[in-house]
Structure 1
């Protein structure tokens, strides 16, 4: 009988010990869970603070980049304006010389009694011809630098010819021979004026390279071809290769390129303008010079609007 009581008592004590242990275990577990919850909450709060700081930093960087791009755009416009004024100067040089000769001839004609109605008519006609040419040059430049508002189909060869006409006299006086032949019409889809500006930048870049490196026989070859759904134009010169260390950085906005007269802003904006047409611009050394490649999408349908 006593053994039975002892057994029951032992079982009771074990049960009580188990209950106490379970209660203590639950207490420790809940305490640990509470600590974990507090730690998780603290980590979550810290994470949220970090995320907010990162979002703020990203917003600040984005704002700074927009401000930088805005500044670069304005700077590019000033560079383009300077190039435009320089090109106008080249284009006006000959008509101004002819006007100067016409005016000087008036004094001599007066001295020799040659001024009559026929002389006045000839003088007026030739003078107005030169003035009309100069006026047309201003209008052409104004249209050239006016941005295209929406994408449209345009002729690649016409856009290149427009850029060549803008700086034709400049290329001529620097003795740069341009080899440009095309056997068919290549219609692209994008912004025609911006494409012409990109071409003008490459022509200007080549001109400065020829001048800086003092190349004697100056050749710039322009070749149009198609690759898949894109129209590709290669501009290859013999004005000297680009140093390997800067070859991969020529399209950066703050990089000075092959010569000390220009900075990378023009090539950077060329990259931006071509990429806005879903195209690309690349450069590599080729032979005795460099080769720039412009690639833009072909016009998928002739029903797409053409430039006004």
Structure 2
């Protein structure tokens, strides 16, 4: 009988040692607590977290090892709620490493039970999910950064668009000023000869008056000459205004007449650069805005002239009109070398 008792005790001891090895080798925290939160059993994983050993932890509670009071209060309240409900519960909680101060995240399975005397106990198996939580946090941060980058990118794009639009506006304004400058130059060319004539006429009148040779008939002739020149100056301004005014409505007009009048307005400026404009072909009528039509033709002629000057070429610009039963065609040809591909879409811009 004694031999059998000794064998049975050894077997039990061996079982206990094997149980200790099993729970200590587990990477998960395994603990058994009473209703007051005192440790009745703890494996090596918890001992290492709290900077102690499995023997010294027995009979003590979390507050003896964990410096985070908020966590300790949560553990105590939580295990009592679970033991009172007597329902196995999965809890996500945190615990602070006593040595490093690092906060670990756990998914804990907490199962209430009773010992052989009927006392309430709770078994806790806590799986360290810190790596998963940190990875999720990194993903969240990355997503937040991506959202911020997208928002900033949209803001940057809008700012760049606004900047480009402002540059376009300034370029258009500059082009308008250049166009106005060229138009004024054309007006000046048209006015030069009439003004010279008026100046000469006034000088002749003054000389005749001083020599007492200014008769009423001569005075009338001089006045008539000056009046005709002034009428020409006024007509020049009206022609330029009518040709490039943006307030005109859609009307039916003669293409050849419009182009002819436009050519007469700019011919002096072009001829100064040894460039002649030759208009040929049959007339036809279209419906539209005369100012827009003149602006388009003027832009084409100006582009042709600028290209010829750039390439140091003089010669003719040919405008040929043709028509059939349903449509009309305007062909403009110069000897400047052709339109560059990067600006061909802008040749009809009025400025």
- TM class, shorter-chain normalised? 0.5 to 0.7
| Matching residue within 303, 323, 332 for 1:235 | 332
* In structure 2, C-alpha distance between the alignment counterparts of 1:250 and 1:143, rounded to whole Å: 28
1:201 aligns with 2:299: yes
Superposition deviation, residue 220 in structure 1: 1.0
* Cα RMSD for the two superposed structures: 4.2
* In structure 2, C-alpha distance between the alignment counterparts of 1:130 and 1:220, rounded to whole Å: 30
| Matching residue within 173, 177, 185 for 1:78 | 177
Contact 1:180–1:222 (CA<8 Å) still a contact in 2?
yes
| Matching residue within 176, 179, 183 for 2:282 | 183
CA gap of 1:177–1:38, structure 2 versus 1, over 3 A, is same
Q: Which has the higher contact order (CA 8 A, sep 6+)?
A: 1
Contact 1:163–1:197 (CA<8 Å) still a contact in 2?
no
TM-score after normalising by structure 1: 0.59
Per-residue CA deviation, residues 8-64 of structure 1 (Å, 9 max, x unaligned), is xxxxxxxxxxxxxxx99x998x99987776565444323321221121011101111
Q: Classify the secondary structure of the residue corresponding to 1:74.
A: helix
- 1:271-282 equivalent positions in 2, closer than 5 A: 271-273=348-350
Equivalenced residues, count: 232
1:248 aligns with 2:345: no
CA gap of 1:231–1:209, structure 2 versus 1, over 3 A, is same
Which structure 2 residue ranges, 5 or more long, are not aligned?
1-89, 91-106, 110-125
More strand by share: 2
1:161 aligns with 2:260: yes
Contact 2:248–2:291 (CA<8 Å) still a contact in 1?
no
Contact 2:187–2:236 (CA<8 Å) still a contact in 1?
yes
Match of 2:154 in 1: 55
CA gap of 1:119–1:248, structure 2 versus 1, over 3 A, is same
Superposition deviation, residue 131 in structure 1: 0.9
Which structure 1 residue ranges, 5 or more long, are not aligned?
1-22, 252-266, 275-308
CA gap of 1:151–1:124, structure 2 versus 1, over 3 A, is closer
Match of 1:277 in 2: none
Contact 2:283–2:322 (CA<8 Å) still a contact in 1?
no
* In structure 2, C-alpha distance between the alignment counterparts of 1:78 and 1:86, rounded to whole Å: 12
Match of 2:17 in 1: none
* In structure 2, C-alpha distance between the alignment counterparts of 1:58 and 1:156, rounded to whole Å: 44
* In structure 1, C-alpha distance between the alignment counterparts of 2:254 and 2:135, rounded to whole Å: 69
Match of 1:295 in 2: none
Q: Classify the secondary structure of the residue corresponding to 2:232.
A: helix
Contact 1:156–1:188 (CA<8 Å) still a contact in 2?
no
TM-score after normalising by structure 2: 0.53
CA gap of 1:126–1:146, structure 2 versus 1, over 3 A, is same
Match of 2:237 in 1: 138
CA gap of 1:44–1:213, structure 2 versus 1, over 3 A, is closer
Contact 1:222–1:234 (CA<8 Å) still a contact in 2?
yes
Contact 2:281–2:321 (CA<8 Å) still a contact in 1?
yes
